[in-house]
Structure 1
């Protein structure tokens, strides 16, 4: 009898989907409320927080506990990776010695949705005693944290996605969003460049993608080149010897006039290549890349045009060559 009334797999799937859509819609409404707040009363304290953090001679100390603490830990990592010296101090641990990690030159960013988190009391008192700027991210305007903060980023009160209103969901998403907004505003205020970003991300595919083409390209005698008018048999020798699958064709001024690739050879097999010159076979106006470009840009060009090699040029003069295998080698592809 129980099998007869048990929900079907289809019913279970539909219920799960409906729940997911309700959650996303509720959290989307929270972000919309935050966006509206930033266009109104939250604008001035947000700008002040950016100014205070940007002017600090010390570090940004992010603190919180529970779900707010998890968000704070992520935000500290985001700040640190985008040029703002930051680290996370657990609010409870701060009361047991970690306050010694905070100096008078620092700025404290404290996260607590209610603003009444008991574990934050020690951090708040420490900030007040040593006149350390305290920025609060809270929904409790009249809370202990809100009153003590030198700058209060007051979050709008919203409905949690949790149907019981207990599990922090919409609220933590909003804390994360306002923290990310602070980090990016500071990044832009500092004119933080992709090169700077690479300094903090030297490892993995992200660091590799921030490498410049000039650091990876082959140059000098390694560049496969022949002048206009070169007969195909001679050009094919260069192509075979250099092993890049192509040869760049230069005009009398040393400028790039075209490129002959293995694909061009395949497309012309019906002709007598021994009687042709590179002028008859080459692809004119080939795809190129600047030595100052990031390898991520080179990879994008290779993928977009389904090719495996690029001639690196400055003012249309070949200065290097970069192959798909070079990007594989540094794990940028």
Structure 2
């Protein structure tokens, strides 16, 4: 009996010390420790690759109209001539071997002079992206609702309204990037990549945080959405720099398609867009799971205080 009592007391003592350590540990540390397991558990019941492909399909439809609308609205802020100049510097900042810079400049110049009637139809097509995101978020959270498409389209409209400012933030650094990259010095190139990385990070994270909080049918809190959006945006910004590096590589994109460079180029773009959406959806799942872990931690803390 004495030995049993001693073992029980030691077990109770260890349990009490474990509870004290858990209570003394900051909540965010506990969440970070449990988050990988929680995300893996959530995704084990989902096909993340398929969800990423579905959102990429919506992006393929809405991407160009979204860019056209953003460019046309940006002309109201800086004027058409200034925007054409920024399109030229963007071409100079991008790798020339693949022709990506020429394509980007052409699209921007055409969008800058398009009619407002066409821009109105572009807004309707661009809103499809919000529908794709909401459907993907709802599927990952297993949320069922009515009028999902229209809810997603309406929720993304403020992002479309802010898109011109975000676009101008990205285009505004292209003169500096073109100058730095043209020098050919490693230090100048590294500085250009660093500047682009940070500007892209902000330009991507703001709409991401909005989508986590407003577009998603079962959104996290604003604080979690902002933290999750900017954390996910950091990874996406890094992937964007990786895509730029990919364009510098001497790869024949048309080789798998019978030498057709246009088909190879668009296929490569869609591949990278798919990868970016995988990162975005993974960030959304991590944000949601972090919120649930924090809520569980608060419940446990409340029960400990009550007892």
Normalised TM-score (structure 1) = 0.23
**Higher share in helix:** 2
Normalised TM-score (structure 2) = 0.24
Does 1 or 2 have the higher relative contact order (CA < 8 Å, sep 6+)?
2
